[in-house]
Amino acid sequence: MQKLTSLLLTALFIVALGIPVTAQDATEIMKKSHLAYYYAGDDGLATVNMTIIDKKGRERSREFVMLRLDESDGGNQKYYTYFLKPSDVSRISFMVHKKVDGNDARWIYIPSVDLVKQISADDKNSSFVGSDFSYEDVSGRPWTEDNHTIKSESELDGKAVWVIESIPKKKDKGFARKVSYIDKETFLPLKEEYYNKKDKFIKEMRSVEIKEIEGFLTITHRTMKDIKKNRITHVRFESIDYNVGMTDELFTERYLTNPPAQYIK
Amino acid sequence: MKRILTELAIKKPWAVIGIALAITIFFGLQFPKIKIDTDPENMLPADEPARLFHHMTTEDFTLYDFIAVGVVYEDGAFKPDILNRIYNISSELEDIDGVIAEDVLAPNNVDDIKQGSGGSIVIGTLMEDEIETQEEADYIFSRIMDNPMLRGKLASKDGKAIALFVPIESKDKSAYVASEIYKITEKYSKGETYYIAGLPMAEDSFGAEMFSQMAFSAPAAMLIIFLLLLLFFRKVKIILAPMVVAMMSVIWSMGLLIVTGNTVHIMSSMIPIFLIPISVLNSIHIISEFHDNYKKYNNKAETFRHSLNTLFMPMLFTSLTTVAGFISLALTPIPPVQVFGIFVAFGIGVAWLLSLTLNPALSTLISEKTLSNFGASDDKHGILAKIMHLFRNVSRKYSKAIIVASVVIMIVAGYGLTLIIVNDNPVRWFKKSHPIRIADRVMNDHLAGTYMNYLVFESDEQDRMKSPEVVKYIESVQKELSKNPTVGATTGLPDIIKKIRYGLFEADSSEAFIPDTKDEIAQLLFVFEMSGGDSDDLFKMVTSDYDKVNLWVQLKSGDNVAVQEVVSHADAFMADNPPPDGVHAQWAGLPYINIIWQEKMVAGMRDSLMGSYIVVLIMMIFLFRSFLWGLVSMLPLTITVMAIYAFIGYIGKPYDMPVAVLSSLTLGLSIDFAIHFIQRIRELQKKTNDFSKSFHEIFEGVGRAISRNVLVIAIGFIPMMFSTLVPYITVGTFFLAIMIVSGLVTMLLLPAISNVFQKSLFPKNK
């Protein structure tokens, strides 16, 4: 009896000790992952090609130049997007001031009516330009919004990974549970699985191609698949450039109507 | 042939019973393999173009069938506590299995785009959380009214009604989802009624209720028929045979239907109800004949030989004519009706065979002792006999008057036939007091409608639907359709474009127009996708290739007449104002599918009725080997069909699917009495060569048999009239009407004609 009690106590102690330790680790991993994924360099520039393929195989493509400037690592960011294709929407530009805590501010410039419009939306889960990526998927969901636990350590595509489960601290419309497969070497997510409140698998992100660019490991091709709609979005980054020396001034209304010539030909 | 069957049954009863039982067990064992299909869409063949197009449309635009849930408060529904209940109900129903949660149209699930400070626009959820103040409730109402995509859908214009639209994964889940929704509304209701409506739910619920009603009605009819037979013949052992014959015919034909891989559809679930009376009819004639003659022979084998000998031809022909009525359904272009016709026909064949074999075989097992006091001794003084004697006197005395009256009835009926309105609506298959009917009425009174049709504009060219001429054309069709009283609302691409302009230009309604350039249209739609507008909402109205546009046409009525009127209205407008080059329009949607199959059904049933009428006439001429008698024999049938359908015309009951299908039953059954009557009176005449004697005699045996049949069938189906499903009431009423009208005509008009035209009809024997 004595033995059993002490055994139980030890077990309890290990469990009690174990949970915070792994939680700490998991949160640390997710923080590093977030920074590696969304905050490479102080700023970044790329031409993005986005293809959405629906269940019937119908494709829609968009091409845009995207500029990003970080206020601080893990902090607020500014995005500027200039559309090149499809041709009937070319010259539309779009700007986001991402606030880590609070609603993002968005502006859009519509050339055919020569109008800049500010949009404030509280829904970061809504689709980014009709793709399967949400705004949050594009600019990143702060690791601080979820509780993370390491579920296992395993291997994916020949790479050692942590399998980490994230559960939103506050009820979230986008997902109820996320499982990320984080590359132990690069901290980049190789795969993310999203589940809804009924614990149904709803969408899957995959890193298809990772390249080292100017010393930064960058996911140059990723996909997001909507399981139920059986629709997939491919995002390919080209002409990537980091630390080009962007200034805050670029991310103002003035440049929405007149794209910065040094970055956008 | 008749000899062989009867002798076999009399001499080797156990063999006959054994074989019948073995076959019955075989078919009975097929029942667990039953496949049920309650989808009225299957009324059309799978490769029917309208159906294929409907499916392509639902695929192209990811459209789902939906259930509408609504509540009405006469003094205004937009109050905090009511909205909070709606909020809780809609949050909870999203978790029901089979509900497409993200597409639910509800205050807590739709975006609200409003003007913010400094000319910005603010996108939020219309009802983010439960509310507290009346101002918040008023605000939600005003936002719904400001949005042409929500107005009339989420709320009625007078603010008295609120509705939710709940899309479901597939139609066959709608009855289940509706029952789950009901449980949730019950939980939150503080006494108010939540109405649950929608075509797919009505159709699915009908299928479910139909099967449960069938499980009640068929045995109930059997029981009542059993009791009536007991009343007439007093011997359980004797009337057991007809019951066994009826049951076996049902088991054989349903078993064969299942084993041949056919699904049990709404139509085929009615097979038992049709087979029971038809198969009982022959048996009643046999027992009546046996009953009337047993005292004469005092030997059951002899009595059977005599009875079957007399009845063989009329039974063969009454069965053949009924088979003809039903087999003609196989020529209609509607698969479930074909299956129904073929298997009822098969069942009638089985019933005929069994009543000639199994019926006597079973009866041989009854001891002569049991039969000792069985017979016609008191029959000539019974009530039935007295009624028949009355008929005899009347038809003899007022022969000419009866003939004149019949002609008048036919003229009046002929006019009544022209008044028939062809109309159907699965919702109307429920009684007026049924919750589904009430929900349909209340919700369509207040809101923009629970029936959804789609008008699809197609082009071979990508991006064609972004061109201003096309969008403006669609807008003009919308404007025209909005004049139609059945159309509650139309929603389409032009509305999205106008709404974005309206939002961009600070809610200035003069800016809500379709722009003149393709680029601007493209950019506005892009803004919609950029500004949090759900691209899925957009692609329910236009394909991502922009080669097709889907205009949602919301209807307040699912009556085929009303739907047809809307379709014709649009078609006429588009004929006068042709769409831009390379664009053409085509309808889809469940209400549209329903009018297509109704069209096919009406034409198909008319042809099949005409065809079988002619076939029956030829059979009669052949049976009686007389053109004149052939024509006379058709009179009860003709008058019955005319009278019943004229009655439908006069009272304004719509000619719908059940009414149409019942025409073959009417045709098949209402000739039967005439066959027995004519066959017998000619035999009597041959024997006696004295018309007065024959005329006198015909009202005894045959007369009583016919009156027993009338009573058994008519009363046996009275329970169906208390059903909550209209087609059941219709079927029960038809059985009653067919029996009474054709019985009356046979026992009044045929004697009258025989009397007046006796010289031509009964040429003196050489």
Is the full-model pTM beyond 0.90?
Answer: no
Q: What is the average pLDDT score of chain B? A: 88
Summarize pLDDT for B730-756 with one digit per residue, the tens.
988 988 999 899 999 999 999 999 999
> Is the pLDDT score of B432 beyond 70?
yes
Q: Which ipTM value was assigned to this complex?
A: 0.84
Which H or E run contains B283?
helix B271-297
CA B458/CA B328 separation, integer angstroms: 39
Facing residue for B124 by CB, picked from A94, A115, A122: A122
Task: Report residue B572's pLDDT band, with 50, 70 and 90 as the boundaries.
Answer: very high
Q: Give the integer Cα–Cα distance in Å for B697 and B699.
A: 5
Residue B472: which pLDDT band, with cuts at 50, 70 and 90?
Answer: very high
> CB contact, 8 Å: A248 with chain B?
no
Contact (CB<8Å) B544/A58: yes
Which of A60, A94, A123 lies closest to B530 in CB terms? A94
Residues 6+ apart with CB under 8 A from B474: B457, B492, B493, B494, B549, B551
* pLDDT level of residue A47 (50, 70, 90 thresholds): very high
- Comparing CB atoms, the residue among A86, A108, A127 nearest residue B527 is A108
Q: Contact, B321 vs B671, CB < 8 A?
A: yes
Q: Please judge whether B529 and A127 are an interchain contact, meaning their C-beta atoms are less than 8 angstroms apart.
A: yes
HSE (CB half, 13 Å, CA atoms) of A157?
12
Q: What is the pLDDT of residues B493-545, one digit of tens each?
A: 999 899 888 888 887 888 888 999 999 999 998 888 877 666 778 888 999 88
Residues B480 and B573 sit within 8 Å (Cβ to Cβ): yes
Q: Which amino acid is at B541?
A: M
Give the pLDDT score at A17. 46
pLDDT at B533: 63
Contact B95/A198, CB-based, under 8 Å? yes
Region B48-60: mean pLDDT is 92
Q: Are strands A59-70 and A77-85 parallel, antiparallel or unpaired?
A: antiparallel
SS (H, E, C) B199-259: HHHHHHHHHHHHHHHHHHHHHHHHHHHHHHHHHHHCCHHHHHHHHHHHHHHHHHHHHHHHH
CA of B123: which chain A residue's CA is closest?
A: A121
Cβ-defined contact of B504 to A113 (cutoff 8 Å): yes
> In this model, does residue A21 exceed pLDDT 80?
no
At residue B713 the predicted structure's pLDDT band, cuts being 50, 70 and 90, is confident
Instruction: Using DSSP bridges, classify how beta strands B36-37 and B264-265 pair: parallel, antiparallel or unpaired.
Output: parallel
Residue B241: pLDDT over 90 = no
A111 contacts in chain B (CB < 8 Å):
523
**Cβ neighbours of B462 in A, within 8 Å:** none
Tell me the pLDDT tens digit for each residue of B271-295.
888 888 888 888 888 888 887 787 7
SS3 B374: coil
CA-nearest residue to B115 within chain A is: A119
**Are A46 and A65 spatial neighbours (Cβ–Cβ below 8 Å)?**
yes
Contact B531 A119 (CB under 8 A): yes
| Residues in B touching A198 (Cβ below 8 Å) | 95
Assign A4 a pLDDT band (cuts: 50, 70, 90): low
Asked whether the predicted pLDDT for residue A19 surpasses 50, the reply is no
Element (H, E) at B50: helix B49-60
User: Phi-psi bin for B421: left (phi > 0), alpha (psi -120 to 50), beta?
Assistant: beta
What local confidence, expressed as pLDDT, does residue B375 receive?
Answer: 59
What pLDDT does residue B376 have?
A: 54
Q: Determine whether the interchain pair B466/A88 forms a contact, defined as Cβ–Cβ distance below 8 Å.
A: yes
CA distance to partner chain A, nearest, from residue B722 (Å): 43
Flag whether pLDDT at B309 surpasses 60: yes
In terms of CA atoms, which chain B residue is nearest residue A54?
B544
pLDDT for the residue numbered A234: 96
A20, pLDDT greater than 50: no
CB pair distance less than 8 Å for B520 and A113: yes
pLDDT in tens, A77-97: 999 999 998 888 889 998 988
- pLDDT tens digit sequence for B349-394: 999 999 888 888 887 777 777 776 665 555 667 788 889 999 999 9
The pLDDT > 70 percentage for chain B reads 98
Give me the helices (H) in chain A, please. Answer: 2-38, 135-139, 253-257
Least Cα separation, residue A64 to chain B (angstroms): 13
Distance between start and end Cα atoms, chain B:
30
**Residue among A90, A94, A117, A200 with most chain B CBs within 10 A, to mutate:** A117
- Do residue B532 and residue A126 have CB atoms under 8 angstroms apart? yes
Tell me the chain A residues in contact with residue B548 when contact means C-beta distances shorter than 8 Å: none
Residue A116 pairs with which residues in a beta bridge?
A109
DSSP notation for B550-593:
EEEEEES---HHHHHHHHHHHHHHHHHSPPSTT-EEEEESHHHH
Residues of B in contact with A54 (CB under 8 A): 544
Stretch B644-654: mean pLDDT = 93
CB contact under 8 A, B122 and A119: yes
User: For residues B516 and B222, what is the distance between their CA atoms, to the nearest angstrom?
Assistant: 72
Q: Cβ A112–B527 below 8 Å, yes or no?
A: no
Q: What was the pLDDT predicted at B1?
A: 60
Average pLDDT on A208-225 reads 92
Contact of A121 with chain B, judged by CB distance below 8 Å, is answered with yes
Task: Compute the average pLDDT of residues B16-26.
Answer: 91
Work out the minimum CA distance from A10 to partner chain B, whole angstroms. Answer: 42
> Does residue A97 sit at the B interface (CB-CB below 8 Å)?
no
pLDDT band at B632 (very low <50, low <70, confident <90, very high): very high
Kindly determine whether residue A111 and residue B523, on different chains, have CB atoms separated by under 8 Å: yes
**For A135, nearest residue in chain B (alpha carbons):** B532
pLDDT at B532: 62
Tokens found for residue A123: 């829904």
Q: What are A162-169's contacts with CB under 8 Å, separation 24+?
A: A162/A26, A162/A29, A164/A26, A164/A29, A164/A30, A166/A30, A169/A145
**DSSP 3-state assignment of B347?**
helix
Domains assigned to chain A: 22-257 (2.50.20.10)
Task: Answer yes or no: is pLDDT of B188 > 60.
Answer: yes
* Structural tokens at position B310: 């007399």
pLDDT exceeds 90 at position A221? yes
pLDDT for the residue B766: 42
Residues of B with CB under 8 A from a CB of A: 59-60, 62, 95, 116, 118-125, 463, 466, 504, 515, 517-520, 522-524, 526-527, 529-532, 534-536, 538, 543-545
pLDDT tens-digit profile of B102-153? Answer: 888 888 888 887 787 777 777 778 888 888 889 888 998 988 888 888 888 8
- A51 close contact with B: CB closer than 8 A: no
Give the model's pLDDT for residue A11: 53
Q: Establish if A109 touches chain B: CB-CB under 8 angstroms.
A: no
